[in-house]
Amino acid sequence: MKLKINKTTLNSISPPTSGQKFFWDCDIPNFGVRITPKSTKSYIVQTRIAGATKRITIGRFPGVTPEVARKQAVKILGFIASGIDPTLEKKKAKAANITLKEAVTHYLKVRELQPNTIKDIKVEFKNSFGDWMDLPLLRISRKMVEKRYLNRCKASKSRANSAMRYLRAIFNLAISEYRDGDDSPIIKSNPVSILSESKIWKKVSRRKSILSPQDLELWIPAIHQLGDIPVRKNGEGKQLPKLRNGKLHADFFMFCALTGCRKSEAQNLMKNDINWRTNTFTFRNTKNHTHHNLPMSDYLKVILDRRCNESPGDKVFGSKHHAGAVPTNFRTSYARIQHLTGLTFTLHDLRRLAATSMERLGVPGYTIKAILNHKTGANDVTGGYVQVDQSMMLKALKQLEQFIVSHG
């Protein structure tokens, strides 16, 4: 139906009972109004663009007056007549204003990432780019990246490298996905590339700390004392308190040392991931995106049985003092062990301890890799042929157990 689009006619037209009604202006071709059953009235331009019929919404009545809508319709039709697709231009403008926060959110949504990786990304962007999150990606320049990287390196080179690798990944996805009407990237280059082009990346030496056999003679007894009330003089209660999760931490440390597993793998181990019939347990969704199955040595059986009985939740290493929550902070136990032995260590040191101890014991390299769940490289043809089974891993884990436990 055609009519003169003005306030009077728009106030007089009635909504449909279902679907939509369209009224077209008698003066400007392809300019009209769409009305819904809820009486929502929207100005539209409908015409053919590149051989396809497209409908462009201008705004709603009465928020936009007929006069303003009429001028906008003429402008849009003029663009179309000139070969410009307003819908693509709008899409391009929107993509050009994508903020870093929006890009990070999109990245986390479309990428298959481990929970710990997601957490790490959020922490890094908060700490390294908190003041950039509302900036459009196009406003983040190479010089800004260089300056921020060098500044972050003053606190920690490794964290600065990690933050910039995450930022590089965000930009790579944005370059791939945010396109204009000609399917050309809105963002032409990755600003993080300046770090490689200018050779600014800082090298970070790989940690090599490890507990030696001599250290184990002090460390093992100290581990077993974590659940005890320490011997202390009057007034030393605050310095040497009883550790509520001391026994749990002790089992956690020993489990990591006897399996070489990652901290997150132990933390996420569920009770139903233990198969008592086959005496095996499974780490799910590990760092290399696979499930990892290991056999239980005798000491591991004792640890897992005790933890399953004491944990009130579904996770093996859940705390009975925190409704089954798995500990994430081992600071008090680290401090107690240092007080007793003078030794400092990290949970990843225990992974190195397991690997080095098995090497010391003559365990074949491919068996060690299998236990640690390290992937065989694409160029390692022999590794593709060597199949390490459960019996081979159990033999190695028993050797590792004997070596570590004997030092206690």
What are the tens digits of pLDDT across the range 57-103?
A: 899 999 999 999 999 999 888 888 877 777 666 666 666 788 999 99
Domain boundaries 213-405, corresponding CATH code: 1.10.443.10
CATH of 2-84, one of 3.30.160.390, 3.40.630.10, 3.40.50.970, 3.60.150.10: 3.30.160.390
Ramachandran assignment for 23, one of left (phi > 0), alpha (psi -120 to 50 degrees), beta (any other)? beta
DSSP structure string for 174-229: HHHH-B-TTS-BSS-S-GGGHHHHTT-PPP-PPP-----HHHHHHHHHHHHTTTSP
341-361, pLDDT tens digit by residue? 999 999 999 999 999 999 999
24-65, pLDDT tens digit by residue? 998 899 899 999 999 999 999 988 877 778 888 899 999 999
- pLDDT for residue 3 is more than 60: yes
- Top-confidence residue, 119 or 384: 119
120-144, pLDDT tens digit by residue? 999 999 999 999 999 999 999 999 9
What does the block give as tokens for 292? 């990892």
Average pLDDT for 278-299: 93
Where exactly are the structural domains of the chain? 2-84, 100-197, 213-405
Average predicted confidence (pLDDT) for the chain: 89
What does the block give as tokens for 302? 């004792």
Average pLDDT for 359-387: 86
Q: What is residue 88's predicted lDDT score, i.e. its pLDDT? A: 66
Average pLDDT for 171-200: 86
Q: 100-197, which class in CATH? A: mainly alpha
Q: Is the pTM of this model over 0.75?
A: no
Same fold, 100-197 and 213-405: no
